Amino acid sequence: MLYHLFTNLHDIYDLPGAGLFSYVSFRAGMSLMTSLVVGILFGKRIIERLQLNQVGEIVRDLGLEGQMNKQGTPTMGGLIILGAILVPTVLFTDLTNVYAQLMILATIWLGAIGFIDDYIKVFKKNKAGLAGRFKVIGQVGMGVILGAVMIWHPDIAIKELADDNTWTTVRSTATTIPFIKDNHFDYTWLLSWLVDDAANYVWLVFIPLVILIVTAVSNGANLTDGIDGLATGSSAIIGMALAVLAYVSSNTVIADYLSIMYIPGSEELVVFIAAFVGACIAFLWYNAFPAQVFMGDTGSLALGGIIAAFAIAIRKELLIPLLCGIFLIENLSVVIQVGWFRYTKNKYGEGRRVFLMAPLHHHYQKQNMPESKITARFWIVGVLLAVITIVTLKVR
């Protein structure tokens, strides 16, 4: 809104200073600061309201040290994150931009799924929350919309540098593949050996892949949200790396230098991700150990879904296993634990475990490692993975 207001004031009245809103760096900085202010100032009021309405965490005794002390801690704090993302996004992005619209939709859509789940748990006193199939249906729906827009929307395109050093706009399903010199990979290649007009059928491959990514990353963030500050801090680190990737993809000079895809219009994603990072840091103000509030599924499902949608929008989804390595290992630890337990139970009549408890952070808790130390070490690993992800732009 402010972007459109000051752009019009600059164009019509040549208002001094209004031209600042044409700079992505300025709007991203304002977006970051606004999200911090909204998250910290209004976060306290939201926590007080949650306490007043007795919206507290219902904790099951898993035999973890200090776990039962969290009983009654306010949950559904993801509302703080959602507000701190959406307010600056609406204020400082170009709302006519398709990428901004996509990210606003992903934030509201996945936040709503998590909110319904938390509402059922807290107010309906149903510990199971929203049935898993309905969560998956919601995530699949978001994946279908995101994939369809990426393929068929007329404003979704990339620009390639032609032999005469001019940029040519191309509708494409190309993405970035790490560690390869010519690092473009087009999903049509997967079908080109089957049909001649592969571009007309690429959605058969692309949309299911988008659904898989949105579902996996969203659930990965949800599993990571098990100890104070872990999911929030990890998401902030991932968001910072995505901000770098989005910025270089939206700048013709840097894109040319790095020989990566230039994505026109993706500069609005830089403004959005600045709000995302600010929202995570603001929430960490209250969520750091010992947590005053938990995000609940309202926050965790939204965080993971936003990260997935953002990576797909800037065509860096194949970097997700590296960048979101913390989420990936948390997911894998559960799959390995459950799979091995079932296999050994069927074979030996007694289920055996690989980890003391899954997800992985609980394994370290069972070893009596303090929560704060587990969180700090996971953050350090997250920073390392983020740096490696950014370095892949040049290391091929």
Q: Phi/psi at 184 (nearest 5 deg)?
A: -100, 135
Question: For a pLDDT cut of 70, what percent of the chain falls above it?
Answer: 92
The phi and psi torsions of 169 (rounded to 5 degrees) equal: -80, 130
Burial 35-59 (b: 16+ CB within 10 A, else e): bbebbbebbeebbeebeeeebbbee
CA distance 228 to 258: 38
Cis peptide before 178 (omega within 30 of 0): no
The C-alpha atoms of residue 1 and residue 30 are separated, in whole angstroms, by 13
Q: How many CB atoms lie within 10 A of CB 339?
A: 11
H or E stretch covering 168? strand 167-170
Q: What is the pLDDT of residue 338?
A: 94
Name which residue leads in pLDDT, 208 or 21.
Answer: 208
Residues 277 and 240 sit within 8 Å (Cβ to Cβ): yes
Q: Which of 37-46, 187-196, 280-289 has the lowest mean pLDDT?
A: 187-196
User: 135: Cβ–Cβ under 8 A, 6 or more apart, which residues?
Assistant: 113, 117, 301
pLDDT of 163 higher than 80: no
Q: At 161, is the pLDDT very low, low, confident or very high (cuts 50, 70, 90)?
A: low
What is the residue-averaged pLDDT of the chain? Answer: 89
Q: What percent of the chain has pLDDT over 90?
A: 63
Confidence of residue 150 (pLDDT cuts 50, 70, 90): very high
Residue that is written with structure tokens 């459109």 in the block: 4
Residue, of 212 and 60, whose pLDDT is higher? 212
List the domain boundaries for the chain.
2-391
pLDDT value for 56: 66
Residues in contact with 358: Cβ distance below 8 Å, sequence separation at least 6, in sequence order: 333, 334, 336, 337, 338
User: Residue 205's CB: how many other CB atoms inside 10 A?
Assistant: 17
Q: Nearest 5 degrees, angle CA 28-CA 220-CA 318?
A: 65
Q: What is the CA radius of gyration of the chain?
A: 22
Output 255 or 308, whichever has higher pLDDT: 308
Least confident among 46-60, 170-184, 205-219? 46-60
Asked if pLDDT for residue 217 goes beyond 70, the answer is yes
Q: Which residues of 12-24 are buried (b: 16+ CB within 10 A; e: fewer)?
A: eeeeeebeebeeb
Q: CA–CA separation, 256 vs 62, rounded Å?
A: 53
Length of the chain: 396
Task: Give per-residue pLDDT as tens, 374-396.
Answer: 999 999 999 999 999 999 888 77
Residue 4: band (very low, low, confident or very high) from pLDDT cuts 50, 70, 90: confident
Nearest partner of 74 among 358, 298, 278, 236, judged by Cα:
298
Q: Can you give the three-state secondary structure of 179-247, one letter per residue?
A: CCCCCEEEHHHHCCCCCCCHHHCCHHHHHHHHHHHHHHHHHHHHHHCCCCCHHHHHHHHHHHHHHHHHH
pLDDT band at residue 196, thresholds of 50, 70 and 90?
confident
Rounded CA separation 330/198 (Å): 36
Segment 154-172 shows an average pLDDT of 77
Check whether 113 has a pLDDT greater than 90. yes
DSSP secondary structure of 323-360: HTHHHHHHHHHHHHHHHHHHHHHHHHSS---SSSSSSH
d(CA 25, CA 20): 9
Angle at 299 between CA 359 and CA 219, to 5 degrees: 40
What pLDDT, on a 0 to 100 scale, did the predictor assign at position 61? 60
- Out of 7-11, 45-49, 125-129, 311-315, which region has the weakest mean confidence (pLDDT)? 7-11
Cα dihedral 75, 81, 86, 91, rounded to 10, equals 130
Q: Is the pLDDT of residue 136 over 70?
A: yes
Nearest CA-CA partner of 118 in 204, 179, 110: 110
The rounded distance, in Å, linking the Cα atoms of 98 and 5 is 19
Residue partners of 331: CB distance under 8 A and separation at least 6: 216, 219, 220, 223, 359
pLDDT for residue 305: 96
Which of the pair, 321 or 6, is modelled with greater confidence? 321
H or E segment at 81?
helix 78-92
Closest to 327 in 3D by CA, of 251, 255, 226: 226
Asked whether 298 and 118 are in contact (CB, 8 A), the reply is yes
